[in-house]
Each structure stands twice: as structure tokens, then as C-alpha cells.
Structure 1
Amino acid sequence: STVSRMKRSLLLNFGKRDAYRFIDRVRLRVEGGRGGDGCIAFDNFGAGRKRPCGGNGGVGGDVFLVADRQTYDLSVSARHFKAEDGDHGGSSQMHGRNGRATVVKVPLGTVVRKVSLRPNDWGDFDKEYSEAGDLDSHHAAICVARGGRGGLGNDIESGGRRGKSLRNHKSPGSRGSVAFLDLELKSIADVGLVGFPNAGKSSLLKCLSNAKPAIASYPFTTIHPNIGTVIYRDGEAYTIADIPGLIGGASENRGMGHSFLRHIERTRLLLYVIDVSTYHEFETLPAEASEVPPPSAQFQLLRHELRQYSPSLLGKRCMIVANKIDVDGYESGLEELRRGIKEMLKVQGADEIADLPQIFPVSAKRGTQVARLAKAVRDELEAIKLEEEEMLARHEGDPDLLLPDGTRLGFERD
């Protein structure tokens, strides 16, 4: 019937939306494998002569979280991961096989916190969080659940000097450790695109990289971060993220502001994408008649939201991408942007004029001047990487050192 077809269509569409949902936070239960039991067995040498030969149980497998550069979000296959149990010991001194470890791949920039429950004075429990690790490099790993120890068999050689009273004794394997984890993805890319809705971030991402984001002429086309990889001819590559468009009040969590802003914290470089095609509208229309602020106001508002959320974000290296130069009259918008930024820096302090960000006029829609922007981004990332290496060499082992992308050094992993 028509109603049945409509219900089936709704279910299919819901499934498609859920399949492409970007997951940046998840809670997991992880459990190490149980150790195998020891075995009681005897070799018979005749005439009542027996020799203990029961093998030990195998050790349970561990659970590891491993950072993988090919994994882009926390859409893991399950919420509960358990490593393989160790096999039981056997006769003839056959020890049980150790359980295989379980490896859970997570994106680079994943912060791991262990969740524990502590009884309170009201007969309830309070949640306590403790840092367990910060997976910020390819193949970085942390063991989050240990496997249980294998039980001992009655074999004299493997069990050491055991008295006659233990000849008929074996021990069971112990359970693996259990942990509840909160995983949060903070560092999703080397470069973050920041801008108002419909500023052209998705078009720029598609033009620069291999990503295929949804693109349309209305605001809020991007509702989850899109990740792309920019690959150069010599094999060098970096990742770039299209952060969903910010709105006024994002720092107060309007429009899912906090969930978007935290993705910016651990990027190395920010690209402010500014729509310079809007200024000519303001020359003929009152300000309240346009939905998009003039170019310089866009930049100021974006910086204001970042400052309100975390003042350290203003210290990040940045560039300004003046987009939509394919629209007639963009020159006035570009000039207004340059003039407005210089005035803003003068108000903030004369010393900051030297920190005037580079402005790159581009047309993401037509690809105009995008190659020049890509080269400049690579040069800037290489300079940042060199700066991080020098800082690391000067302060090796300093637990209080923060790199420009927000990575904390000297953290001890389990």
C-alpha cells in the first residue's frame, strides 16, 4: 500500500542518514580476556609411579586502542570489546595458548578518559574521570584492559618446587580487567576551515582535497565535519576539515557551538573562509536586510566566538581565504576586508599589526587561485612542524609543555 511504501522509505532514509553520521564522542566497555585454567594430569610410569604433567592456562588477551590515520571518526563497530580468553592447560605439559589481543582503531587526536564510580554520602555514585591517554600520532597505542593471568597446572617443572600436597591441585585463570572509557575526538585534521554558513567551506574542501561534502546554496549544508586529504605530487599530504558553519553565540553552545568549536582546538592551522561577495549588498541595503555580515565583520565575529570559547585559539597560526571572487563586485568586499582587519589590529595594539594574517582571494567554485593557496598552506604547515620539533628538542620530557596544536607532551601512557 501507499502507507507501507512511505514507512519503508522513511526507514531507509533514516538508515542512510545514520550511516553517514559523524561520531566524535563515544563510551566503550572494554574487558581483557580471561586466563585459562590450569590442568591436573599425570604421566603413568607403571606400578603406581606417576609424575604430575598438567600444563598452565594461557594468559588472556589485552585490549588496545591504536591511532590510525585512515580512521576519521569514532564510529566503532561495537560499544563492548572483549579480548580472547586464554586456552586451558592440557596433559603432557601442554600449556594453554595465550588469548589474542583485540585492537580498536581510533582517529588521530583521540583523548581517552577512564570512567569510575565512587560512592557518595547519599547512597548513590559519582562519576570520576581520569586521563588514560592521548593518541596523537600514527600507530600510537594504549592498553586499556589487561588479560587475566593463566591458572597453574600441577606440572612440577613449570610450577617450580611444589610440595606433594599440590600434586592434585590446580588453579583457575583470573578474569581480565574491565574498564569504561570515554573517547573524545579533538584533533580531526591538520587544517580547520572556519566560517559562517554558506561561506563556501565545503566547496573549498572539495576543490583542495578528495572529500565529497554536500554542497548547496543554502546555509547549514554541513551539519557534521567533513575530512579530506590534500595530496601533493611528491607524496606529501595533510588533512583538512570543514567545520560546520559557526553562528553568533556558538561559544554559548548555540547551534551546537561547543561540539563544533572543540574540533578547532587541536588543528595546527586555521583558515578563516570569508565571503567577500556580500559587501556590495550593504552598499544598497540596510545592514539588517542581509543575513551575512560584511567581510571584516565576519572575521571579527568569528574571532570573537573563538575568544569566548577559548582565548588560546586566537594564538593559532591562521590565514584568511577571501572566497567567491567569481561574483561581480567582489573587489569592494576584498578591499573592505583588508581595511577592516587593519583597523581592528590598530585598536587591539600596534604590536599586532605585524601579525596581519595573509589574505588569499580565491574562487572555490571555479578553482581560481586555489593552487596558490594550497602551496601556502603546505609552507605554513612545514614551518609549524619545524617549530614544534625545535620546541620538543628544547623541552623534552616537560609535562607542562603544550605544542601549538594543543598537544601536551610528557604524558605517561599505561
Structure 2
Amino acid sequence: MVQLFKFLLKSTKKPIRAHLRGSFIDSLRLNVHAGHGGNGLPQYGGIGGQGGCIYFVAKENTTMRKVAQTFKEKRITASSGEDSSKLRLLGRRGHDERIEVPIGVQVIDENGKIIGELNEENATCIAAGGGMGGCVGTNFLGKPGENRMINLDLKLIADVGLVGFPNAGKSTLLKAISNAKPKIASYPFTTIRPQIGTIGYSDLRTITIADLPGLIEGAHANYGMGHKFLKHIERTRLLLLIVDVFGFRLSPKHAQRNCLENIYALNKELELYDESLLEKPCVLLLNKLDLDGAEGIVKKYKPFIKNLEIGLEQCPESIRPTKLIKFEEIMTISAKNSARVNKVKDELRNVLDRLAESESVPDEEELRLSLQRRVAERGPKVT
């Protein structure tokens, strides 16, 4: 009887803990093994079927978690090609494996080489090619399919990326500005996974905005959420830096930094991770202006914020950037004030529209060079 109870206890599956059920997955390692080519038939010159391929297709309505649940053993295998026979000289091709992945996935091989980037709906990437069917050139022996380890690396694609230290008010702003429903609390690290919201306008224009886990000093070296955070802002078109007017202190072991020092620190982390991020257009929001004393702090630091070079010498060396970020706009807000939030919505749209216009219309020098190339391609006029 005791043994029976032990067996029943062991066979009972433990429920998945609540905090693990919804955990965000943005990276997945898989073994992909394409199908073996079928053998040919030397007597009649029959050709074996090609092995099945494995390819990924970008779809909007799927997630990395769904992929991980579908392939729990982290292995995907395609079927082999059919051998040639008297009844079927040309063997059937093996069945391809088609795996749907979220938009924004990079497919990377074991050597770190990017095989494909799936940034649009229905974009396709072959991860492993099937083996050739047996024929004269292979002595009628089928060839093995590709077998490799690949990484699926998801980088969110959004118009705007919210960047800031923990508890700066990013989630509050996202909730006020869009249709997202992020968790909000008065302690750091409320956001532990990316949240995507959509800002809607009266003319049906929409803008996507991503609230990412709070950044901490050393994120470029993978401290805290580290690279898990920073990689998601690579594909955003506009950075939205949000800073607490009263500064930020991660813990009693860390120094209290004022709002100006926090701007330098954020600038430094972006620069050390990828200097090209500083070339992205950026809007700065000084948050929590509704609290007592906020106006005085803004008045004190505003001249330095407008011209970051002025206060660079007084900036602590550990957070002093070598290349400064440029702000398209600097705004003081309270994420709880609807009127100020609406101004932010309008400004984000204006900046993105200006960016789209500058990308679509070439400057005079580019236009002149383009015309010269076209004339040169046509060659001299024959009379």
C-alpha cells in the first residue's frame, strides 16, 4: 500500500508556477535536421527524391513560447526523400517542415552567422536544406540533409522604444498613451518582459510603442536585463528616453543620481552597447512633474539638459559618455496628466513623420549624384 501511494505521488504532475507560465521568451536554440535524399535505381536510371527542407515563416499571430512548446525536445526533423523504384522512377520529395515564428526573428547558425531576418509577414528563411536524391552524379546514393544548431533571436519591431531606469514611469506612460495594460507599482523592476502598445489617432493612424525592462548601469556588459533589453531597441525607429525628475537610486549600495546624471548614464549605456543607437532620433521626457519640488529641479538642470556638453566636465567619469545623444524634443510631463500625455502623442507622431519625410526625399547632393549616374548609364547621345 505504501509503495502504491509513493507511485501515485510521483506520477502527479506539478503545476507550472504562475510566474513561469507567462515568461517572455525572445531566444530559442534548436537542432534542425533536414531529410536524407532517397536512393536512385541504377538499373533504370531512376532518381531518388530530395530530402525535406526545414524553413521558418514569419507570422504576426504567433510567439516564441508557442514554438518552444511545439518542439519541447528542441529538435526539428524533416522526412527523407523516397527511393526510386520500378513503379516510380522519380522518387517523391520528402515532406518539408514549415515552422511559424514571430515577426522580428533572426535565424543565426552555430558560428554566429545570420542565415535570415524575418521582419515582414510571410518572410521565409530556409534553415536546413534537404539532401540530394540519388542519381548518376552521386552513384545513385542519396545525400544526407543539412544538420545544424540554430538560434532564433527575437528583436521586437516597434516605432518607438521606451528607455529609462527602473521606476521612471515607463509603464504608467505606456498605459496612458496606448492600449497596453502593463503592470504598474511603486517599486523598481515592475516590468520584467517587453510590453507592446498601440497609439491610435483620430485619422486612424497608429504607432507602436515598446516598454522594455528597466535599464541599470552595466547593462552593456549584460548586467541586469542587459542585452535582453538593449537588443530590442535596435529595430525601433525612435527612442523615447524617460527620466525621473527626482533622480534614481537602485539600492542603498548605489549612488543617488540626479536627473542630469541619469541622462548621461543612459547615454553611456547605449553608446557602449552600440554607438549607432545614438544616431537614432530621440525624444526626452522629464517625468513626475506633478510632485512637489519638481519645477525647481527642472529650472536648475534645464540649461544643462538642453546643452549636454556644458555639464559634461562635472559628470562622474564612470557614466561620462564620449559621444552625446541629440534630442529632437525635450518635454516635461506627468504620466498621470492626460493633457500632457496627449502632447507627447502628438510630438511622437510629428517626429516620426519628419523622419519618414527625410528618408523618402533625397537631399540636393544625393539627387545630383543620382542624375549623374543615370546620364552616365545612358552613354553619349548618337546623332
Q: TM (normalized to structure 2)?
A: 0.72
Q: Which residue of 2 aligns with 1:27?
A: 29
Deviation at 1:149, TM superposition (A): 3.0
Report the 3-state secondary structure (helix = DSSP H, G, I; strand = E; otherwise coil) of the residue aligned with 1:270: strand
Q: Which residue of 2 aligns with 1:204?
A: 173
Deviation at 1:145, TM superposition (A): 0.8
Report the 3-state secondary structure (helix = DSSP H, G, I; strand = E; otherwise coil) of the residue aligned with 1:217: coil
Distance of aligned partners of 1:150 and 1:353 in 2 relative to their CA distance in 1, 3 Å threshold = closer
Which of 280, 287, 291 is 1:327 aligned to? 291
Q: Check the 8 A contact 1:35/1:87 in 2, yes or no.
A: yes
Distance of aligned partners of 1:238 and 1:89 in 2 relative to their CA distance in 1, 3 Å threshold = farther
Q: Which residue of 1 aligns with 2:373?
A: none
Deviation at 1:30, TM superposition (A): 1.2
Deviation at 1:142, TM superposition (A): 1.8
Q: Which residue of 1 aligns with 2:208?
A: 239
- How far apart are the structure 1 equivalents of 2:116 and 2:30? 15
- How far apart are the structure 2 equivalents of 1:212 and 1:340? 35
Distance of aligned partners of 1:382 and 1:60 in 2 relative to their CA distance in 1, 3 Å threshold = farther
Q: Which residue of 1 aligns with 2:121?
A: 138
Distance of aligned partners of 1:330 and 1:174 in 2 relative to their CA distance in 1, 3 Å threshold = same
Q: Which residue of 1 aligns with 2:229?
A: 260
Gapped regions of structure 2 (runs ≥ 5):
1-12, 314-322, 368-383
Q: Check the 8 A contact 2:180/2:198 in 1, yes or no.
A: yes
Distance of aligned partners of 1:390 and 1:11 in 2 relative to their CA distance in 1, 3 Å threshold = farther
Q: Does 1:380 align with 2:351?
A: yes
Report the 3-state secondary structure (helix = DSSP H, G, I; strand = E; otherwise coil) of the residue aligned with 2:152: strand
* Aligned pairs (5 A) from 1:108-123: 108-115=103-110
* Aligned pairs (5 A) from 1:264-283: 264-276=233-245, 278=246
Distance of aligned partners of 1:367 and 1:129 in 2 relative to their CA distance in 1, 3 Å threshold = same
Deviation at 1:260, TM superposition (A): 2.0
- Counterpart amino acid of 1:378? R
Deviation at 1:341, TM superposition (A): 0.3
Which of 321, 332, 338 is 1:367 aligned to? 338
Deviation at 1:316, TM superposition (A): 1.6
- Counterpart amino acid of 2:101? V
* Aligned pairs (5 A) from 1:389-404: 389=360
1:4-43 alpha-carbon deviations (Å, 9 max, x no partner): xxxxxx95462x32232222222221122233455799xx
- How far apart are the structure 1 equivalents of 2:77 and 2:230? 33
- How far apart are the structure 2 equivalents of 1:108 and 1:11? 33
Q: Check the 8 A contact 1:193/1:243 in 2, yes or no.
A: yes
- Counterpart amino acid of 1:134? E
* Aligned pairs (5 A) from 1:43-192: 57-71=48-62, 73=64, 76-77=67-68, 78=71, 79-88=74-83, 92-93=87-88, 95-115=90-110, 128-151=111-134, 171=140, 173-192=142-161
Gapped regions of structure 1 (runs ≥ 5):
1-9, 42-51, 116-127, 153-158, 160-169, 282-287, 396-414
Q: TM (normalized to structure 1)?
A: 0.68
Distance of aligned partners of 1:246 and 1:104 in 2 relative to their CA distance in 1, 3 Å threshold = same
- How far apart are the structure 1 equivalents of 2:67 and 2:168? 32
Deviation at 1:197, TM superposition (A): 0.8
Deviation at 1:308, TM superposition (A): 2.9
Q: Check the 8 A contact 1:72/1:227 in 2, yes or no.
A: no
Larger Rg: 1
Distance of aligned partners of 1:306 and 1:84 in 2 relative to their CA distance in 1, 3 Å threshold = same
Q: Check the 8 A contact 1:135/1:141 in 2, yes or no.
A: yes
Residue identity over aligned pairs, in percent, reads 40
Distance of aligned partners of 1:356 and 1:319 in 2 relative to their CA distance in 1, 3 Å threshold = closer
Q: Check the 8 A contact 2:282/2:328 in 1, yes or no.
A: yes
- Paired residue total: 337
1:227-269 alpha-carbon deviations (Å, 9 max, x no partner): 2333445454343221211223333433233332232233221
Q: Does 1:248 align with 2:212?
A: no
Distance of aligned partners of 1:318 and 1:354 in 2 relative to their CA distance in 1, 3 Å threshold = closer
Q: Does 1:344 align with 2:305?
A: no
- How far apart are the structure 1 equivalents of 2:259 and 2:302? 9
Report the 3-state secondary structure (helix = DSSP H, G, I; strand = E; otherwise coil) of the residue aligned with 2:308: helix
- Counterpart amino acid of 1:64? Y
Deviation at 1:317, TM superposition (A): 0.7
Q: Which residue of 2 aligns with 1:48?
A: none
1:75-100 alpha-carbon deviations (Å, 9 max, x no partner): 62322222344445565447554334
- How far apart are the structure 1 equivalents of 2:168 and 2:176? 14
- How far apart are the structure 2 equivalents of 1:354 and 1:304? 9
- How far apart are the structure 1 equivalents of 2:84 and 2:200? 52
Q: Which residue of 2 aligns with 1:164?
A: none
Distance of aligned partners of 1:172 and 1:356 in 2 relative to their CA distance in 1, 3 Å threshold = closer
Report the 3-state secondary structure (helix = DSSP H, G, I; strand = E; otherwise coil) of the residue aligned with 1:216: coil
Distance of aligned partners of 1:150 and 1:70 in 2 relative to their CA distance in 1, 3 Å threshold = same
Deviation at 1:328, TM superposition (A): 4.0
- Counterpart amino acid of 1:105? E
